[in-house]
Structure 1
Amino acid sequence: MSEKSIWKPFWSFHIQNTEQWIGEMEKKGYTLTRFQPKLSHFTFTEEAPSHETFAISFDRSRQHPLPNALKVDGWEVVNKHGKWAVYGNARQKEEVKTSIVRDNLEARNSKIVTFWWIFFIYIIFSIALQAGLLLPVYLSGDSFTVTRIESPMWFLTYIIFAGQFVVTLIGIYSLITLQRESKRLSEEDAQSQILVHNEDKPTTLSVERQNKFKFGWMYAPDKLERWLEEKEQLGWHLTHIRKGGFKFQFEKSDTKLYAYSVLFEGRADRNAHAFHGEAGWERVYVSGMSWQQWSVWRQAYSEGKEKPEINDDPESKQRAAMRVAKIHTLMFAPIIFLFGFNFFSFMLPDALEQGYFSISGIERFNTTVYPFIMFLFLINILRAWAYYFRVRGQ
């Protein structure tokens, strides 16, 4: 009985492909007998095939429970190791009625994506900080001399640089691959993410339509809710929110009462979306990012009845609003610090000393634009915190 060991790097970034690959190995007469996820190592033994369909799951509890419904449908554990497990089913994929839950796997992928985004933001911030420190020197008219000193540990310097380059490539690959994997794992149809696809419908001249742009609503989602509800009361029914969430399309209709709710979920949660749908809420919009997802929901109600709320727990509302304030503060505060350091340390003193119209054109441009950028990001932070305090005060 022969064995075959295969190293498959980044297999967890391609779950469906890995499942299909295990199935192909099974058809060739090789059954998976050993599974080492961290080492990306798969061991197959030459045996008669016993499964047609495979599924891989990730469980933080390491228990890998198999509900009775899955057992009845023919699923069984083929191999497991730590948080990972491979399930097999003797039926063809088309005949299988149930599926392995992917929620923990999607949560894991979302955390990996978040880690790499933080890594790249740090790299960009470091480069921008160094460039900001050196830029005034290069823009000044003073002459200077650059001296290059060879490092006594030059080989170590090159090794570290090569390591950083490899890590950066892995990060780029991870972000791109996991973004695609998130789309492949999603069981929802693309049309369910948008309530109505106006571009797919023939234009009817008898229906009056209007487009409105709403920028920065994620810093004050409660104001967006009120604005959409007022539009409905004025007879303008929301039919579509463009990708990106800035362009809103309305259609003239009868006046109706709708309760709108804008949710910041942090990461995609299909179970929560299914729960809201079962409770009678219609999902109008969901952002494309799985690690920082916004969604817009609505529900019609009648005159005289209490306005429905998708979340009536004050504490959870405050926690969600706090997350909105914190994440935008963490995003924009470093930018304000970087621009403020350059502006108050170099640009403003030069402009005051030499005169605004005596400095070069690029220096005048930076001296004018930097305060505007700092003000813009500061306003966004203040709007996010104002939203939190409004929620807390309710």
Structure 2
Amino acid sequence: MHKQVFRPFWSFDVRQTEKWLSEMAEKGFHLKNLKRSSRIFVFEKGIPKKVTYKIGYSQAQGKQFPEEVINADWNLKYNQNNWFIVNNSNELDPSFTREGVINHNRKNFFICSGILIFLSIIILINLINYLSIRSYPESVRDFLRYGEAGKPTNTPWFLAYIRVLFVAVLIYSIYSVYKIKTSNKLLRGELSGWAELEKDMLNSKGKRSEHEEIELKQQGKLMVKRKFAWMYAPDKLEKWLEAMEVKGYNLYRVDWMGTGFYFDVGTPRKISYCAVYQGLAKESSMIEIKNKGWKYVFSTMSDIQKWTIWSKEYKENEEKPQLYSDKTIQQNKAKNVVLTNTALFIPIMLLYGLLMKIHTILALENEHMGIPWFLLILVALCILFYGASSIRTWLYYLRIKKR
């Protein structure tokens, strides 16, 4: 007897899927196959028993049985398209590599987040259009609503399907982003070395209370400096932090937004700072940096545009430590910053530019309308911000290239 179960989001939360597979085994349904394209699990009826399941992902494995599961006496149940599922009836649950699943999910997270951002911009532009049109004279609103006919017309049938599809994709993107983020947070806890790094992250936020910080500020022992949009010129941030240390202002912490830098008024130090763009952040790379002797300082909240700041103290007679001494690596990382931000900013600027064009033409061609200066100025400021940020990233790349 066979049983098929449709589970469309199984890969977004492999821990939950593993638990579900074990529960099915206790009911006597044992995994026989997975139809990945249709998201259907095929079970075979058998004797109920306790079975531990593990799901992994590895692009390097191909058709090879993963070495990490051979030594642990796992049984291979599925191995296709880089995914593999193993089980063990001995109830063994040794350490199991999760980074492949985390990285795969993070790529889906990036795609879904991009779709969500794009849809949000469309919603925002439509909201701005709606609020703007409400301020127009009634004759203009009727013209925009009904056209030259001056009366309601039948809405094309396909528009209804487009709206339903839009809402469905929006809900799917929101659910996917939430589910993957929650799942990956749990999976990160299973990575070797991540618990220690996470402890460093918590400690780096500072142990002083808000009241203590206020008192230190009043006494002149604590100083706060603001640096906005530093991620578009990270090399300048590094030089600024190093110069502050030389002057005796020791970095204590960075606030959760990444804009407020708290300095203790102390003694001059020689410290090398490095702001690292990790894009789709990999926990293994962060652990690797820590193992090289660098101290974690700060990381942005986003898992898509992930930035981390690291520091390493050195003596006066020592050479300044470099996290990435290879110029090619430095240039490639700077290029990633440029390409990512350019790909993100240009579509946004084009959409805002289109919005400006539409409302400007409407105002100029209709004598009953005034030019919506507030809207145009607001949109122009947004375009200016994204344009300036894009230029700053290109200048940053050129500076790194000339080194």
- TM-score bracket relative to the smaller structure: 0.7 to 0.9
Tell me how far 1:59 sits from its aligned partner. Answer: 2.5
- The question of whether the paired residues in 1 share the 8 Å contact of 2:78 and 2:85 is answered with yes
SS at match of 1:198: coil
Cα distance in 1 for residues equivalent to 2:331 and 2:174: 35
Tell me how far 1:318 sits from its aligned partner. Answer: 1.4
Q: Does 1:193 align with 2:208?
A: no
User: What letter matches 2:95 in structure 1?
Assistant: T
Work out which of the residue numbers 183, 186, 201 in structure 2 matches 1:184: 186
Question: Does the C-alpha gap of structure 1 residues 126 and 25 become closer, same or farther in structure 2, counting only changes over 3 Å?
Answer: closer
More displaced stretch, 254-263 vs 139-148: 139-148
Cα distance in 1 for residues equivalent to 2:169 and 2:347: 23
Tell me how far 1:157 sits from its aligned partner. Answer: 4.1
Partner of 2:390: 381
- The question of whether the paired residues in 2 share the 8 Å contact of 1:53 and 1:88 is answered with yes
What per-residue deviation string (whole Å, max 9, x for no partner) do you get for residues 61-95 of structure 1?
5335422x5433343423333322112245546xx
Cα distance in 2 for residues equivalent to 1:303 and 1:217: 28
Map 1:85-234; keep pairs closer than 5 Å.
85-90=84-89, 92=91, 96-99=93-96, 101-127=97-123, 139-141=135-137, 143-144=139-140, 145=142, 146-147=145-146, 148-151=152-155, 154=157, 156-187=158-189, 188-189=194-195, 190-199=198-207, 203=212, 208-234=221-247
- The question of whether the paired residues in 2 share the 8 Å contact of 1:235 and 1:253 is answered with yes
Work out which of the residue numbers 310, 317, 322 in structure 1 matches 2:323: 310
Question: Does the C-alpha gap of structure 1 residues 251 and 75 become closer, same or farther in structure 2, counting only changes over 3 Å?
Answer: farther
- The question of whether the paired residues in 2 share the 8 Å contact of 1:259 and 1:299 is answered with yes
Partner of 2:5: 6
More displaced stretch, 212-221 vs 22-31: 22-31
What is the TM-score with the length of structure 2 in the denominator? Answer: 0.82
Cα distance in 2 for residues equivalent to 1:34 and 1:349: 60
Question: Does the C-alpha gap of structure 1 residues 198 and 21 become closer, same or farther in structure 2, counting only changes over 3 Å?
Answer: same
What per-residue deviation string (whole Å, max 9, x for no partner) do you get for residues 176-210 of structure 1?
11111121211234433344242466949789323
Tell me how far 1:56 sits from its aligned partner. Answer: 0.4
User: What letter matches 1:118 in structure 2?
Assistant: G
- The question of whether the paired residues in 1 share the 8 Å contact of 2:63 and 2:80 is answered with no
SS at match of 2:33: strand
Map 1:313-332; keep pairs closer than 5 Å.
313-332=326-345
- The question of whether the paired residues in 2 share the 8 Å contact of 1:36 and 1:81 is answered with no
Partner of 2:21: 22
Cα distance in 2 for residues equivalent to 1:136 and 1:160: 24
Cα distance in 2 for residues equivalent to 1:381 and 1:9: 38
Question: Does the C-alpha gap of structure 1 residues 91 and 286 become closer, same or farther in structure 2, counting only changes over 3 Å?
Answer: farther
- The question of whether the paired residues in 2 share the 8 Å contact of 1:195 and 1:284 is answered with no
Question: Does the C-alpha gap of structure 1 residues 53 and 134 become closer, same or farther in structure 2, counting only changes over 3 Å?
Answer: closer
Map 1:228-267; keep pairs closer than 5 Å.
228-267=241-280
What percent identity do the matched residue pairs reach? 23
Tell me how far 1:24 sits from its aligned partner. Answer: 2.4
SS at match of 1:143: helix
Cα distance in 2 for residues equivalent to 1:159 and 1:374: 32
SS at match of 1:250: strand
Partner of 2:77: 78
5+ residue gaps in structure 1? Answer: none
Cα distance in 2 for residues equivalent to 1:201 and 1:49: 55
* CA root-mean-square deviation: 3.3
What is the TM-score with the length of structure 1 in the denominator? Answer: 0.84
Partner of 1:59: 58
Tell me how far 1:388 sits from its aligned partner. Answer: 0.8
Tell me how far 1:389 sits from its aligned partner. Answer: 0.8
Tell me how far 1:347 sits from its aligned partner. Answer: 4.5
- The question of whether the paired residues in 1 share the 8 Å contact of 2:270 and 2:316 is answered with yes
SS at match of 2:276: strand
